[in-house]
């Protein structure tokens, strides 16, 4: 759980992890997901979940990225809430060289103040057709 105090609108806190992309093959479909609970969300503008696969194709750096589709610029509810968040799916490209897959959960303040963010089961999974 994060016990967060922001001093101004737009401040952010994030939780990031890089994963060895060699765990997946070209054509594999993956998505990031988590379960969040926010207490005292009146000072919260957004919680964003983001994922990016990195590598190179033909000797040139390449990436594909996605994020959840929650609004970024609106103040949310004024009472504690829980909800799942997930990115759109990524199809792992046929990189010549794979580097990493990164995912990030970021909380953004709407104004100065504090709140608590609880994160459960933050993960990237392969989607089976």
- Domains by residue range for the chain, with CATH: 2-126 (2.60.120)
1-38 pLDDT, tens per residue?
888 899 999 999 999 999 888 888 999 999 999 999 98
- Cα–Cα dist 119/113, whole Å: 20
pTM of the predicted structure, to 2 decimals: 0.82
Cβ neighbours of residue 97 under 8 Å, at least 6 residues apart?
Answer: 55, 56
Per-residue pLDDT, 23: 83
Per-residue pLDDT, 62: 92
Q: What angle do CA 11, 4, 33 make, to 5 degrees?
A: 85
- Cα–Cα dist 72/39, whole Å: 18
What confidence category does residue 76 fall into, taking pLDDT thresholds of 50, 70 and 90?
low
What confidence category does residue 125 fall into, taking pLDDT thresholds of 50, 70 and 90?
very high
Per-residue pLDDT, 73: 47
């Amino acid at each position: 759980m994060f016990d967060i105090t922001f001093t101004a609108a737009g401040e952010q806190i994030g939780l990031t992890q890089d994963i060895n992309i060699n765990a997946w093959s070209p054509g594999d479909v993956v998505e990031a997901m988590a379960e969040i609970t926010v207490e005292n969300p009146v000072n919260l503008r957004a919680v964003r979940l983001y994922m990016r696969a990195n590598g190179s194709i033909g000797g040139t750096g390449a990436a594909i990225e996605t994020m959840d589709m929650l609004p970024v610029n609106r103040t949310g509810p004024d009472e504690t809430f829980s909800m799942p968040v997930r990115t759109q799916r990524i199809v792992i490209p046929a990189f010549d060289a794979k580097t990493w897959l990164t995912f990030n959960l970021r909380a953004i303040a709407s104004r100065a103040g504090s709140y608590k963010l609880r994160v459960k089961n933050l993960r990237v999974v392969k989607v089976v057709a």
